[in-house]
Amino acid sequence: MSGCLPCELEHAEASAIAYRDERWACEVAPGYDVPGWFVLRLRRHAEGWDGLTVEDAAEFGPVSQRLATALTAATGAPSVYFLSFGENHRHFHFLVIARPADLDPALAGASILTLRSDHRDAALARGVAADLREALARDRATASA
Q: Give residues in contact with Zn ion (CB under 5 A).
A: 4, 6-7, 45, 91
CB 29 within 8 A of CB 17: no
For 16, phi and psi rounded to 5 degrees? Answer: -90, -10
In sequence order, the β-bridge partners of residue 41 are 25, 93
In angstroms, what is the minimal distance from the CB of 58 to Zn ion? 21
Nearer to Zn ion (CB atom), residue 45 or residue 120: 45
In angstroms, what is the minimal distance from the CB of 124 to Zn ion? 27
Nearer to Zn ion (CB atom), residue 6 or residue 36: 6
For 54, phi and psi rounded to 5 degrees? Answer: -60, -40
Sheet strands (E) in 43-137: 79-83, 93-99
Nearer to Zn ion (CB atom), residue 28 or residue 46: 46
In angstroms, what is the minimal distance from the CB of 7 to Zn ion? 3
